Structure 1
Amino acid sequence: MSDSGAQYHVVVVGGGVAGLEIATTLGRRWRRQRPQNQAVPKVTLIDSDSAHVWKPMLHTIAAGTRDMAAQQVTYVTQAYDSGFIYQPGELCGLDRTKHEVLLAPLYAADGRLLIPERRLVYHKLILAVGSQANDFGTLGVGEHCWMIDSRRQADAFNHELRIHMLRSLTQDLPLDIAIIGGGATGVELAAELVQLVEASAAYGAQGIAERITVTLIESGSRLLAAFPEDISSATRRRLEALGICVLTDTKVSAVTADGLAFGDGRKMRASLKIWAAGVKAPEFLAHLDGLETNRSNQLVVLPSLQTSRDPDIYAVGDCSSLTLPKTSRPLPPTAQVAHQQAQYLIRHLPRIIQHQEEPPPFAYRDFGALVSLSNYDAYGSLGKFGLFRGRTIRGHLAQLSHVMLYRSHQARLYGVWRGSLVWLVDCLNARLRAKIRLD
């Protein structure tokens, strides 16, 4: 390593659920120790965006039923409050021999160079760059579909959606919205769009409900394939009761400017197309200085969460692939897995750095999954742990459980006291401000 005598440096790439929790908690812990010990490690968080939004909430930003500014955590502020360093930039290369990460140059929207290419030296590197939708090579997806894998994408789609709604109202045009992918993102977005239409009508957009159709398309035999069948069936019935057209066993073979083509030769008109099917890690991971990846570009990791070919590099969350003993499939790319892996590194990494322990293997606890249909309903599976393991819940209890997942995430970032204040402010805003984005 080129600067082995320097202050120990932990670099976290990716400010999502796992990356931001790791940087926040370790930054606070080591900042408290720094006045007594100048050799305490420092933490740097790298992300190409300027703020974090909890990924399971992106569909509400996309629909405009939540205010993005009120829900985002700016990295500069979080770094100041928590004692880590924030570096804006995108990882574009890695030199494992020199223990250096290469950050691409950063440009303004008009093309001016803001920050030139940089290199950062690390002692431990944690890759938490998340995932994106997988188009499986389907013709036309990149050109004609919107995706909502990031804060910027969700905001851009909302901007386009409002343009289409305004045109529909003023020019008496139909607005056909197609969502490809019947997982949690597609299902929740579909319900959120119904909420948007109802609120728009209440604010004076007369006739908007008759002009807008929402179609949810799933290539498999049922929605929410990761959930129990009773939840899948109940979700479909609820969505159809809300006026959403649900198509299962329907594979999209191509996307065009004005619609979709299906594998059986049928075609469907659609003004707006959202691709929410499949998951893969970013493409650049497959070419990152020889690190091992799978077909979905995920980094293969050991039970210690170390990458299989470099013990100084860890991968967590959606960009990692870990198959636990006595299981045949890797852990799913969910916020629950990312959070548990983040907590594992928060607990063990400080002692690893001090050579005080060989960490135990990561153990995953499946606490189930939740899906929220906006304000209309919610469903949950309680997983394999706890008193009511294997049971399903719905209605207000499931809604509250879904809310608590988000509030727990905020408490880990802000602390319990500030997190509670943020929750209070959100509750007040829900009563005082418009229920949808109107700017």
Structure 2
Amino acid sequence: MNPSTGHRIVIVGGGAGGLELATRLGDKLGRKGRAEIVLVDRSPTHLWKPLLHEVAAGSLDIHAHQVEYIAQARWHHFEFQQGALIGLDRERKQLRVAASLDEDGIEILPEREIAYDTLVLAIGSVTNFFNTTGAAEHAIALDTVPQAERFRRRLIAACMRAQNRLGEHAGESNPQVDVVIIGGGATGVELSAELRNTAQVLRAYGLHQLDPVKDVKLTVIEAGPRLLGPLPERVSKATTELLHSMNIGVMTSERVTEVREDAVLTQSGKRVPADLVVWAAGIKAPEVLSTLGLPLSRLGQVEVKQTLQTPSDSSIFAFGDCASCPSPDDGKPVPPRAQAAHQQAAFLFKALQLHLAGKPLPEFKFSDLGSLVSLGRVSAVGNLMGNLVGGSLLIDGLIARVLYASLYRMHVLALRGAMRMVVDTVVQWLRQRTTPRVKLH
């Protein structure tokens, strides 16, 4: 690529924060020719990451919710480049992007360099297996759409084998599908609830002999003393009670030591049978960050100042899960949560305009608005307002579910504008009432 004659802002990572930032900067600066905005991502499409548990459960059609980066770029005046970040030359202000392959492994885009004047890193996080024996080989992570789709296919196959008493279920009088979810954070809790709701309608697809509650056993294993450790204890307690009411097993204070093809072993000596294992026990920064020559935190995140600039290079910004930003109040890092990335994207939209004008930048301050955890299509639980009013308000049930759904609508609003968001909401409402709840193909 030839360097632009104007100022070029390159954003690496098309997650919720990165795509929102590219969209807003394209509309503000790209449309008027004040700057060239380039978005780089390894995937050709974007899906809001909190929806991945619904993809894994088969209760969400990804084609109705995915955003094509190229189409979004055309509508909002920025450029999209597909490829994974593999290197950075800060002296030449060039980043190196890996070649892109199609589904058959054939190269469609070569390895290349992309010039930048200002670089924004927003590449998110990846699953941390904590060097647990067998975890990488036998457990499925839910970082990407292909991983979620793989779990969905394996879930349906396991149910089919159990009903027809094939494979490991041969000769069993009461075959059962054991699904073990390692990690009692938001992803693990949401997936367990969505899977239970999905199991309720499996009979509509020919699985008449499986009891959706008794024959599909769900177990959540958490190493800490309770579920949803970062959230208030009363939220954790309410969530645990709701999972128990849905006949979902919860094991706390159980550290997993090994994942086998047919079981999960814990430090206390327990052996939990497993046809499918999902690993949702933690995240870490992508390994590529350690090759860029930027200062890193002990967790491997890029260290940034409260302006979200790296201390060693004022032309490089980082935000979201891949960055460690200190809070101005207590110096603790901003938590790696979707609302933090959303707030940082909004902050950078204004800060980058000041950066282009050579003006001093403000400091980012995270406002904790609370947390919500989905427990299916009709329920959720969480706390609102965080520390804004000196405390928090526990909510659950339908009200919490409506508020949870509104978080996604806010993301759609940021990407498509008010009119398209309203149309999209109506279309999705109609689709939910005219299409099956479970996707088997």
TM range (shorter): over 0.9
> Does the CA contact (< 8 Å) of 1:279 and 1:296 recur in 2?
no
Coordinate RMSD, CA, aligned: 1.7
Query: Structure 2: how far apart are the matches of 1:235 and 1:4?
Result: 52
Structure-to-structure mapping, 1:153-164, within 5 angstroms: 153-164=147-158
What letter matches 2:439 in structure 1? R
Once the two structures are superposed, residues 234-262 of structure 1 have per-residue CA deviations (whole angstroms, 9 ceiling, x without a partner) of: 11111111111100000001111111111
Aligned-pair CA distance for 1:57: 1.0
Select the residue among 400, 403, 411 that pairs with 2:402. Answer: 400
Match of 2:45 in 1: 51
| % identity of equivalent residues | 39
Match of 2:231 in 1: 227
CA change 1:393–1:418 in 2 (3 A) is same
Query: Structure 2: how far apart are the matches of 1:149 and 1:98?
Result: 32
CA change 1:4–1:375 in 2 (3 A) is closer
Aligned-pair CA distance for 1:164: 1.6
Select the residue among 244, 255, 262 that pairs with 1:258. Answer: 262
Aligned-pair CA distance for 1:170: 2.3
User: Where does structure 2 lack aligned partners over 5 or more consecutive residues?
Assistant: 170-174
Query: Structure 2: how far apart are the matches of 1:427 and 1:33?
Result: 36
Structure-to-structure mapping, 1:298-377, within 5 angstroms: 298-355=301-358, 357-377=359-379
Matched, 1:379 2:381: yes
Structure-to-structure mapping, 1:165-176, within 5 angstroms: 165-171=159-165, 173-176=175-178
Select the residue among 419, 425, 428 that pairs with 1:423. Answer: 425
Structure-to-structure mapping, 1:40-439, within 5 angstroms: 40-171=34-165, 173-208=175-210, 209=212, 210-288=214-292, 290-355=293-358, 357-384=359-386, 389-439=391-441
Secondary structure of 1:33's counterpart equals coil
What letter matches 1:368 in structure 2? G
What letter matches 2:154 in structure 1? E
> Does the CA contact (< 8 Å) of 2:219 and 2:248 recur in 1?
yes
Query: Structure 2: how far apart are the matches of 1:196 and 1:61?
Result: 11
Moved more, 232-241 or 205-214: 205-214
Aligned-pair CA distance for 1:84: 0.7
Moved more, 384-393 or 255-264: 384-393
Count of aligned pairs: 431
What letter matches 1:18 in structure 2? G
Aligned-pair CA distance for 1:383: 3.1
Aligned-pair CA distance for 1:211: 2.4
Moved more, 152-161 or 210-219: 152-161
Query: Structure 1: how far apart are the matches of 2:259 and 2:9?
Result: 43
Aligned-pair CA distance for 1:104: 0.9
Aligned-pair CA distance for 1:402: 0.3
Structure-to-structure mapping, 1:13-52, within 5 angstroms: 13-34=12-33, 40-52=34-46
> Does the CA contact (< 8 Å) of 1:44 and 1:86 recur in 2?
yes
What letter matches 1:360 in structure 2? P
Query: Structure 2: how far apart are the matches of 1:432 and 1:404?
Result: 22
Moved more, 150-159 or 129-138: 150-159
What letter matches 1:418 in structure 2? R
Moved more, 217-226 or 108-117: 108-117
Query: Structure 2: how far apart are the matches of 1:62 and 1:285?
Result: 28
CA change 1:400–1:5 in 2 (3 A) is closer
Aligned-pair CA distance for 1:286: 1.4
Secondary structure of 1:379's counterpart equals strand
Once the two structures are superposed, residues 128-158 of structure 1 have per-residue CA deviations (whole angstroms, 9 ceiling, x without a partner) of: 0011221111111110110001222212221
Aligned-pair CA distance for 1:389: 4.8
Secondary structure of 2:332's counterpart equals coil
Moved more, 206-215 or 58-67: 206-215
> Does the CA contact (< 8 Å) of 1:10 and 1:44 recur in 2?
yes
CA change 1:313–1:49 in 2 (3 A) is same
Query: Structure 2: how far apart are the matches of 1:93 and 1:165?
Result: 44
CA change 1:388–1:309 in 2 (3 A) is closer
> Does the CA contact (< 8 Å) of 2:128 and 2:284 recur in 1?
yes
Query: Structure 1: how far apart are the matches of 2:188 and 2:3?
Result: 48
Query: Structure 1: how far apart are the matches of 2:220 and 2:418?
Result: 38
Query: Structure 1: how far apart are the matches of 2:27 and 2:243?
Result: 44
Once the two structures are superposed, residues 312-340 of structure 1 have per-residue CA deviations (whole angstroms, 9 ceiling, x without a partner) of: 11111011111213325311110000000
Secondary structure of 1:415's counterpart equals helix
Structure-1-length-normalised TM-score: 0.95
Query: Structure 2: how far apart are the matches of 1:262 and 1:438?
Result: 33
Structure-2-length-normalised TM-score: 0.94
> Does the CA contact (< 8 Å) of 2:178 and 2:216 recur in 1?
yes
Query: Structure 2: how far apart are the matches of 1:106 and 1:3?
Result: 20
Aligned-pair CA distance for 1:351: 2.1
Query: Structure 2: how far apart are the matches of 1:145 and 1:51?
Result: 25
What letter matches 2:159 in structure 1? M
> Does the CA contact (< 8 Å) of 1:383 and 1:391 recur in 2?
yes
